[in-house]
Chains A and B, each alone.
Chain A
């Protein structure tokens, strides 16, 4: 049995310990940790300010076989006696692994130890920053690299007016070039972060210190800086920055003192010298992670540290692993901006792509014959990263512009990529099904189950079919040889108002669960009365049929409309009273509304009655229709708002409520560039500018998140509404079944430019008709719940049993948990869906 002592329980130390335990569970392992908490994910540190708790960041428990000494730093290594000393005890070792990581670099200037100055390294640092931030309104981050921008995000999440000071001429100098840094800067400035590049900090002073030096001479007549919080940063060119808090995040230095003190060989620029087996100058001492220098170089990333940890485990177990150097390629999201760099981003030749409107920059570094890809930089759009990184050392896989325009379809999806997450179907399973003869989405579903769950992967399945050279059958199903858009035109032009007429004249058979809801949606989009009128009732999916959302135990959930999320106390009380009286589980939805769960079909009308009486109406949470227009509080309350986002959001929600579409539609309005309403994650999003409104289209969350793209800028409200009218109507008429706006835009020949030509320049001459169609929709809107309440025939369907209308479904039962009812499932399903 060997005795192993590990100094450090950071990410790399922990990776070493757990890997070793798996490989050699019999050895004795002692870990000396300086911090009082066990290892946590330092890479995601700033998530702590975004709602993550210390427990969320934890890297888990070590098994009982490891002696983890929290809060007990190693202070000295006696290499001769093979013993590590802490302040409390001593620990003999056969092999010692040093994983002390690094410490934050603080520039050697006066005043950095003033109250309000922090570093950004540990959870304790973050707690201290959070506590101090509560009392100030401005913060400065010194350092515009990876860590600095993480820190800036943290300050922003804490609500501070944030400035980043960077010594280099542009942001992220280690990863980006000047143009990439400038694009990143643009994104960050949009978020309201101030950036000062090419600026060195010369001193930090406090109010108290300044007063002391100012008073004797009496010459300082500046007013006191009460609001700022009492710190002043002086830059090397003599300008001042007043702030309440300073975070130094200007890089890290290897934490190598214990190696130096015990006489190990050190690298010239810091770090404990190790060879490619991570062995130090002592044959029983290893160093891994940021404290170790391989060929004189330290790696400030976690992946090389993990690789080193694995090498040492292998060596201790008698293997011959070597550290092969590290790929320092990185791809990350900084403050919501995608940034990546890979390979060696500098080379004899380069090809660049810059789109200032979209904030996208890309650069590829090439060999002098332009045949070999050496590396590159991506800012604002890192979609091609996987493909490009894999191509380093070989030919460039495609034109840069094509890669960014996604004109190289699906090239970067590996075979193992999960296409259908409902049934866990990988791309390779789908491509082999296609090779075996599956020729449409339905047959793919029959042999792989892909696409038969929520249906959100159907566009990807079509893409894979197209990529495999299968000619696209646009038919919605076996009953109609037409696409949804074609059916829409047939219904509209032929003036068809019923499914039976449509299938008799243009289809075959009786229809099915695919084409019936499609036609129901088309008929509804063309204003053919209530969706449960006459024959239309039989076409609706269960959600639309009961005007509520089916839940897993057969009950429904009810979501009243709360336009823009604005709700009176009286209405809140009404919702609470109804939920209490009917024993409903309540939850705030992601769209600023309140969902009430667990209603049986026979309870729905009574619940609606009370909601309608209190002034509510259906929120269409059940429909492929407009859901909500989310909003921030805008100028009504917010100190930063530049437009009245709430009023616009309410107006838009009321205008488009009830509009049936190929998929659900979501929208949001943000009152300033801080974008609190997350409008760029919506099908159509509006962000206020000083001059008016910017309109973004084609965003969504869900299965494949997309950022909406800027369609038009600085619109007045009237033009904004007109362009949204046309955008929506054009989409409703021409999109495929279950195709969201993002996929629709991607498949639209000519994309965003073409969309602009159609709805702004009226290239197709259809704008008047689109406007008229929307006017008809707005004029004919009626609340769907009220219409049912007024119609005894429709009401009669709302019973659990046709032969026992008074009997509730006995299979539905509830338990109570956290003070609310939760469904009791009777037993496990007899068959698995996958």
Chain B
């Protein structure tokens, strides 16, 4: 596993997301909450099959940070990726960190082909 630097923290608007492209082509949705917590989940919305999760609205369900898909509005737990509106649906999650104002996502090592 390695850390892939993505962008400066100030490029992320509080309470909003941005999409990022990992070296292996995976699309990640990065979110910054208003308390400056950072989350990363895959950008693919499993209900519409479009890469749009980064454009969802942030919020909480009973205190748990969430994002709602902008397409059909299903709500996902940002920390676990679990869908709150459908059983057994889960977004892949990524570790994310911020050091010296740089946001980085932890990605699996490239597997030699």
Please tell me if the beta carbons of B15 and A833 are within 8 angstroms of each other in the complex: no
- Given A452-B72, A552-B71, CB of A512 within 8 Å of CB of B16: no
- Quick one: closest B residue to A809, CB to CB? B51
Interface string of B61-89 (1 = CB under 8 A from A): 11101101011111100000000011001
**Knowing that A513-B73, A537-B16, A829-B49 are A-B contacts, what are 6 other residue pairs whose CB atoms are under 8 Å apart, sorted by A's residue number?**
A517-B57, A538-B16, A542-B52, A802-B11, A807-B21, A828-B49
For the complex of A and B, 9 pairs with smallest distance between CB atoms: A512-B59, A513-B68, A542-B70, A538-B15, A554-B50, A802-B18, A513-B57, A829-B49, A542-B55
- The contact of A510 among B52, B56, B60, by CB within 8 Å, is B60
B25 located at the interface, meaning its Cβ lies under 8 Å from any Cβ of chain A in the complex: yes
| B residues near A833, Cβ cutoff 8 Å | 47-48, 72, 74
List A619-676 residues whose CB lies under 8 Å from chain B.
Answer: none
Report the separation of the CA atoms of residues A445 and B72 in the bound assembly, to the nearest whole angstrom: 13
Please tell me if the beta carbons of B49 and A513 are within 8 angstroms of each other in the complex: no
B41 located at the interface, meaning its Cβ lies under 8 Å from any Cβ of chain A in the complex: no
Please tell me if the beta carbons of A804 and B21 are within 8 angstroms of each other in the complex: yes
| A residues near B52, Cβ cutoff 8 Å | 542, 550, 554
- Quick one: closest A residue to B66, CB to CB? A512
Report the separation of the CA atoms of residues A539 and B21 in the bound assembly, to the nearest whole angstrom: 25
Please tell me if the beta carbons of A803 and B21 are within 8 angstroms of each other in the complex: yes
- The contact of B27 among A509, A511, A546, A811, by CB within 8 Å, is A811
Please tell me if the beta carbons of A825 and B20 are within 8 angstroms of each other in the complex: no
- Quick one: closest A residue to B88, CB to CB? A831
Please tell me if the beta carbons of A538 and B56 are within 8 angstroms of each other in the complex: no
Interface string of B15-29 (1 = CB under 8 A from A): 110111100010100
Please tell me if the beta carbons of A513 and B55 are within 8 angstroms of each other in the complex: no
- Quick one: closest B residue to A449, CB to CB? B85
Binding site for A on B (CB under 8 A): 5-7, 11-16, 18-21, 25, 27, 30, 33-34, 46-52, 55-63, 65-66, 68, 70-75, 85-86, 89
Q: How far is the CB of B48 from chain A (nearest CB, A)?
A: 6
Please tell me if the beta carbons of B56 and A827 are within 8 angstroms of each other in the complex: no
| B residues near A452, Cβ cutoff 8 Å | 72-74, 85
How large, as a class, is the contact surface on chain A? 35 or more
Please tell me if the beta carbons of B85 and A552 are within 8 angstroms of each other in the complex: no
Report the separation of the CA atoms of residues A504 and B56 in the bound assembly, to the nearest whole angstrom: 22
Report the separation of the CA atoms of residues A111 and B81 in the bound assembly, to the nearest whole angstrom: 80
| B residues near A553, Cβ cutoff 8 Å | 50
A826 located at the interface, meaning its Cβ lies under 8 Å from any Cβ of chain B in the complex: yes
A545 located at the interface, meaning its Cβ lies under 8 Å from any Cβ of chain B in the complex: yes
- Given A827-B49, A829-B47, CB of A516 within 8 Å of CB of B57: yes
Please tell me if the beta carbons of B62 and A802 are within 8 angstroms of each other in the complex: no
Please tell me if the beta carbons of B59 and A516 are within 8 angstroms of each other in the complex: yes
| B residues near A512, Cβ cutoff 8 Å | 57, 59-61, 66, 68, 75
Report the separation of the CA atoms of residues A542 and B51 in the bound assembly, to the nearest whole angstrom: 13
- The contact of A509 among B5, B16, B63, by CB within 8 Å, is B63
Report the separation of the CA atoms of residues A487 and B73 in the bound assembly, to the nearest whole angstrom: 23
Q: How far is the CB of A702 from chain B (nearest CB, A)?
A: 18
Report the separation of the CA atoms of residues A513 and B73 in the bound assembly, to the nearest whole angstrom: 8
Interface string of A805-825 (1 = CB under 8 A from B): 001011100000000000001
Report the separation of the CA atoms of residues A829 and B86 in the bound assembly, to the nearest whole angstrom: 14
Please tell me if the beta carbons of B19 and A541 are within 8 angstroms of each other in the complex: no
List A484-533 residues whose CB lies under 8 Å from chain B.
Answer: 500, 509-513, 515-517
Q: How far is the CB of A544 from chain B (nearest CB, A)?
A: 10
Query: Is chain A's interface secondary structure helix, strand, loop, or mixed overall?
Result: loop
| B residues near A513, Cβ cutoff 8 Å | 56-57, 59, 68, 73, 75
A453 located at the interface, meaning its Cβ lies under 8 Å from any Cβ of chain B in the complex: yes
A205 located at the interface, meaning its Cβ lies under 8 Å from any Cβ of chain B in the complex: no
- Given A802-B7, A811-B51, A826-B49, CB of A511 within 8 Å of CB of B18: no
Interface string of A106-129 (1 = CB under 8 A from B): 000000000000000000000000
Please tell me if the beta carbons of A541 and B7 are within 8 angstroms of each other in the complex: no
Q: How far is the CB of B70 from chain A (nearest CB, A)?
A: 4
A353 located at the interface, meaning its Cβ lies under 8 Å from any Cβ of chain B in the complex: no
Report the separation of the CA atoms of residues A398 and B59 in the bound assembly, to the nearest whole angstrom: 46
Please tell me if the beta carbons of A831 and B33 are within 8 angstroms of each other in the complex: no
Report the separation of the CA atoms of residues A776 and B30 in the bound assembly, to the nearest whole angstrom: 38
- Quick one: closest A residue to B70, CB to CB? A542
Q: Looking at B46, B59, B86, which has the most chain A CB atoms within 10 Å of its CB? A: B59
A426 located at the interface, meaning its Cβ lies under 8 Å from any Cβ of chain B in the complex: no
Report the separation of the CA atoms of residues A162 and B70 in the bound assembly, to the nearest whole angstrom: 51
A830 located at the interface, meaning its Cβ lies under 8 Å from any Cβ of chain B in the complex: yes
Report the separation of the CA atoms of residues A541 and B16 in the bound assembly, to the nearest whole angstrom: 11
- Quick one: closest A residue to B7, CB to CB? A802
Please tell me if the beta carbons of B15 and A829 are within 8 angstroms of each other in the complex: no
Report the separation of the CA atoms of residues A539 and B34 in the bound assembly, to the nearest whole angstrom: 12
Please tell me if the beta carbons of A538 and B14 are within 8 angstroms of each other in the complex: yes
Report the separation of the CA atoms of residues A479 and B11 in the bound assembly, to the nearest whole angstrom: 28
List A290-325 residues whose CB lies under 8 Å from chain B.
Answer: none
Please tell me if the beta carbons of B57 and A453 are within 8 angstroms of each other in the complex: no
| B residues near A828, Cβ cutoff 8 Å | 49
Report the separation of the CA atoms of residues A478 and B27 in the bound assembly, to the nearest whole angstrom: 31
A603 located at the interface, meaning its Cβ lies under 8 Å from any Cβ of chain B in the complex: no
| B residues near A541, Cβ cutoff 8 Å | 57, 70
Report the separation of the CA atoms of residues A541 and B71 in the bound assembly, to the nearest whole angstrom: 10
- Quick one: closest B residue to A477, CB to CB? B59
Please tell me if the beta carbons of A537 and B65 are within 8 angstroms of each other in the complex: no
- The contact of B85 among A446, A802, A803, by CB within 8 Å, is A446
| A residues near B6, Cβ cutoff 8 Å | 802-803
Q: How far is the CB of A794 from chain B (nearest CB, A)?
A: 10
- Quick one: closest B residue to A512, CB to CB? B59
| A residues near B49, Cβ cutoff 8 Å | 825-830
Q: How far is the CB of B22 from chain A (nearest CB, A)?
A: 9
Please tell me if the beta carbons of A802 and B59 are within 8 angstroms of each other in the complex: no
- Quick one: closest B residue to A796, CB to CB? B11
- The contact of A802 among B20, B34, B46, B47, by CB within 8 Å, is B20
Report the separation of the CA atoms of residues A509 and B34 in the bound assembly, to the nearest whole angstrom: 11
Please tell me if the beta carbons of B19 and A802 are within 8 angstroms of each other in the complex: yes
Q: How far is the CB of A548 from chain B (nearest CB, A)?
A: 11
A431 located at the interface, meaning its Cβ lies under 8 Å from any Cβ of chain B in the complex: no
- Quick one: closest B residue to A546, CB to CB? B55
- Quick one: closest B residue to A515, CB to CB? B59
Interface string of A371-397 (1 = CB under 8 A from B): 000000000000000000000000000
| A residues near B70, Cβ cutoff 8 Å | 541-542, 550
| B residues near A829, Cβ cutoff 8 Å | 46-49
A801 located at the interface, meaning its Cβ lies under 8 Å from any Cβ of chain B in the complex: yes
Q: How far is the CB of A438 from chain B (nearest CB, A)?
A: 14
Report the separation of the CA atoms of residues A452 and B47 in the bound assembly, to the nearest whole angstrom: 13
Report the separation of the CA atoms of residues A833 and B20 in the bound assembly, to the nearest whole angstrom: 26
Please tell me if the beta carbons of A510 and B34 are within 8 angstroms of each other in the complex: yes
Q: How far is the CB of B109 from chain A (nearest CB, A)?
A: 19
Please tell me if the beta carbons of B19 and A537 are within 8 angstroms of each other in the complex: no
Please tell me if the beta carbons of B47 and A509 are within 8 angstroms of each other in the complex: no
Q: How far is the CB of B75 from chain A (nearest CB, A)?
A: 7
| A residues near B7, Cβ cutoff 8 Å | 802-803
A800 located at the interface, meaning its Cβ lies under 8 Å from any Cβ of chain B in the complex: yes
| A residues near B46, Cβ cutoff 8 Å | 829-831
Please tell me if the beta carbons of A801 and B63 are within 8 angstroms of each other in the complex: no
A610 located at the interface, meaning its Cβ lies under 8 Å from any Cβ of chain B in the complex: no
Report the separation of the CA atoms of residues A511 and B65 in the bound assembly, to the nearest whole angstrom: 10
- Quick one: closest A residue to B49, CB to CB? A829
| B residues near A538, Cβ cutoff 8 Å | 13-16, 58
- Quick one: closest B residue to A555, CB to CB? B50
A797 located at the interface, meaning its Cβ lies under 8 Å from any Cβ of chain B in the complex: yes
| A residues near B11, Cβ cutoff 8 Å | 796, 802
| A residues near B20, Cβ cutoff 8 Å | 801-804
Report the separation of the CA atoms of residues A392 and B58 in the bound assembly, to the nearest whole angstrom: 54
Report the separation of the CA atoms of residues A199 and B72 in the bound assembly, to the nearest whole angstrom: 59
Please tell me if the beta carbons of A831 and B47 are within 8 angstroms of each other in the complex: yes
| B residues near A554, Cβ cutoff 8 Å | 50-52
- Quick one: closest A residue to B59, CB to CB? A512
Please tell me if the beta carbons of B51 and A545 are within 8 angstroms of each other in the complex: no
Report the separation of the CA atoms of residues A140 and B50 in the bound assembly, to the nearest whole angstrom: 56
Please tell me if the beta carbons of A478 and B13 are within 8 angstroms of each other in the complex: no
Please tell me if the beta carbons of B57 and A810 are within 8 angstroms of each other in the complex: no
- Quick one: closest B residue to A811, CB to CB? B51
